[in-house]
Amino acid sequence: MRGADRIGPYRILRLIRRGGQGSVFLGVDERLGRRIVAKIHALPAEPARSRKVLREAQAVAALDSSRVVKMHDVIVGDTHLAMIMEYVPGCDLEELLTERELSLASILIVASDVAAAIAAGRQRGIVHGDIKPGNVLVTAEGRVKLTDFGLAAEQGSVATARGSLSCISPEQLLGKPQDVRSDLFALGCLLYRLVAGRHPFQGRHGLDADALLRGAAPPLPAALPDGASLPSGMAPLVASLLAANPEDRPSNTHAVRRQLQAMAAAQPRQLRSPLRDEAEPYFRQEASDDLPLQIPRSLSRQARSRMPPRPGEWALFGFGRYWRRRHWLTAAATVACALTVALFALWPRDQRLAVPRPLVVLEPAHAALPGSDGVEGLLLTLREQMLAVRPGLLFQGESAPFYPSTLDHTRRPPEETLQISLHCSPALCVLGLERERGGAYRYRQALVPQGSPAHRWQELTGRAVAELFAADP
């Protein structure tokens, strides 16, 4: 596996899409046997803005709601940041709406789940800012998850160009601060489209900005395309969400969710999710190459036949049931030879590591590293931790403390390369450790907040070293 096919420990399978907000890739976490989505953002050149981006990514990663696509990891490089998110089978709402209209029951499921996702963001002080149908994922269970929180804005921050025209609020259009009411406006646009089949402020040539700023949306139809009547509370709810002045909108999600739940409770009960039944024909087809093998561990590693031996066969603890007795002497001799070869191959030997000069970026230049020896002291600690895990390591490095050992007389070429990187910002130090052998890679990193005591550095770096050498690339 080439290094270009990996982001940290994650193997990348293919590109999903490339857009203004970054490139999105499908990948797999081979440690857990699950697919992931990796979204890559370029980091700003200014250190202050770069730190702000990292804080925003960490804030989104802290969101914990079944209605929000989960972020598993944040991988930071010198110039880019990758957000590792769960993969959601199914389809997005934009794809579904191009194929068919939804029933009232399905519309209420979508609106309720999106409102729950907005509530989860509000609890963390996060504004999504781009709640469009393409960011609403319909799951295989017939529920909805909101994705692409991405580098979402903090409440009260000034809006950027992130918002799409299909869900942009008047305050975003004017460059004013946004809060949860901006996301509720986007929910109103989404509800209007689900009911009426069009954007509330659609003009001849796209968005009618004047109508948007005046809050002049056409009235909702009295019934859906399938003939179902709208609940009496739907039109007033949508009107309140689409108010031009944020002060005239609901101030939080509680009242909105209560109204949606009351409308849903009035619908006939169904055993299956109506949204699932309506969306299932349009779910994306999963490529077999993208699916991790789902063989139970107990079958692949520990299983054996429980059928009784046939006449003339003999088994020991369930093994060898198809062998006759005369086969066992040959097998015993073969096993003895194999054990001899295995013992010779597995006998502890020296392992040589080439260690190029570490990549060190300190912002500020005098970052708070443990001890008084700075970077060199940290590298010495790493060397001791590596030798504690793999006592037979022999280093051939380009800088102290990884200079070649005087005891290594053979000077055989190193079997693998160890690259060490350290990037410290005023808020966080990211230590990266990457082993490469024959084109295969194994990567681990330690995230250490600035100002952490020496014992915390040793704990986090020791854990990263132990995981790095727990298996070979």
pLDDT recorded at residue 190: 96
Domain boundaries, the chain: 1-87, 89-294, 351-468
Q: What is the pLDDT of residues 394-423, one digit of tens each?
A: 888 888 888 875 545 455 678 889 999 888
In this structure, the strands spanning 22-29 and 90-92 are: unpaired
CATH topology of domain 1-87: Phosphorylase Kinase; domain 1 (3.30.200)
In this structure, the strands spanning 416-424 and 351-355 are: parallel
- What beta strand segments (E) does 311-464 contain? 351-355, 359-362, 393-397, 416-424, 428-437, 440-449
Taking 70 as the pLDDT cut, the residues of the chain under it are 1-4, 19-21, 150-163, 287-329, 343-349, 364-367, 371-372, 405-412
Q: Which CATH class is domain 89-294?
A: mainly alpha
CA gap 133, 181 in Å, rounded:
18
Is the Cα dihedral 40, 43, 49, 55 positive or negative? Answer: positive
pLDDT recorded at residue 319: 47
| DSSP reduced 3-state for 196 | helix
Greatest Cα pair distance in the chain: 93
pLDDT recorded at residue 108: 96
Are the beta carbons of 430 and 76 closer than 8 angstroms? yes
Global pTM reads 0.60
pLDDT recorded at residue 317: 45
Catalytic positions are: 130
pLDDT recorded at residue 2: 46
